[in-house]
């Protein structure tokens, strides 16, 4: 009987060891699983960060596209866009474009489009801004839109500008003073007409 008790005692100790080993194996398994969960969580966080940055980039691109449209309302700065811009269509596609945005350049058989809220005069598109900016900021703003500050070339153009300005408006024009030459030139490099 002692053997039996001893056997039972050994058997109990053996069972205790097995349950301890089992709990250790389970702890190791949880440790490994926790390690993989941390890796997956890191990958998921990185992916979410990339998605968030992509979303922010798309929002900025869309907002820049919206900013290219001219704001409505009163006007204080003026921008001039040359006819050589990207918005040209041939006469065959003219019927697909709204009349509001359609400006016809009579000197060629192509149709030149002015962006919405821009005014067409003598083959150029003009935009009167309602934002107050410095000359430098206005210059950069125009360049970003593939245009430039106002260059007045003749008296009829001056009359057009005066007609479309409100009395209280102040306007930046595209004149530069070159200190080396001590002369005024337009932003496109052309000289100022002394008759103007």
In-domain check, residue 3 = no
Residue 112 resides in a domain: no
With beta carbons less than 8 A apart as the criterion, state whether 148 and 156 touch: no
Could you list the residue range(s) of the whole structural domain that residue 41 is in?
A: 29-63
Classify residue 191 by its DSSP letter: B
144 part of a folded domain: yes
Task: State the residue for tokens 């204080």.
Answer: 76
pTM > 0.75: yes or no: no
| Number of domains observed in the structure of the chain | 2
Q: What is the pLDDT of residues 92-151, one digit of tens each?
A: 333 333 332 332 333 343 466 777 778 888 878 887 777 788 888 888 888 887 888 888
Residue spans of alpha helices (H) in the chain: 2-67, 135-144, 155-164
Residue 78 lies in a domain: no
Note whether residue 111 is domain-resident: no
- Computed over every residue of the chain, the mean pLDDT equals 68
């Amino acid at each position: 009987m002692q053997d039996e008790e001893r056997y039972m005692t050994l058997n109990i100790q053996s069972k205790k060891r097995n349950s301890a080993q089992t709990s250790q194996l389970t702890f190791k398994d949880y440790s490994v699983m926790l390690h993989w969960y941390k890796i997956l969580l890191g990958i998921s966080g990185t992916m979410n960060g990339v998605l968030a940055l992509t979303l922010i980039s798309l929002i900025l691109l869309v907002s820049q596209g919206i900013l290219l449209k001219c704001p409505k309302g009163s006007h204080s700065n003026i921008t001039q866009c040359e006819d050589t811009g990207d918005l040209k269509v041939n006469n065959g596609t003219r019927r697909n474009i709204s009349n509001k945005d359609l400006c016809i350049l009579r000197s060629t058989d192509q149709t030149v489009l002015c962006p919405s809220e821009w005014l067409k005069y003598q083959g150029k598109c003009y935009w009167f801004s309602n934002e107050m900016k410095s000359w430098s900021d206005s210059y950069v703003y125009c360049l970003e839109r593939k245009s430039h500050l106002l260059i007045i070339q003749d008296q009829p153009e001056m009359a057009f500008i005066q007609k479309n300005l409100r009395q209280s408006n102040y306007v930046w024009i595209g004149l530069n003073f070159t200190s080396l030459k001590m002369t005024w030139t337009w932003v496109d490099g052309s000289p100022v007409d002394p008759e103007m």
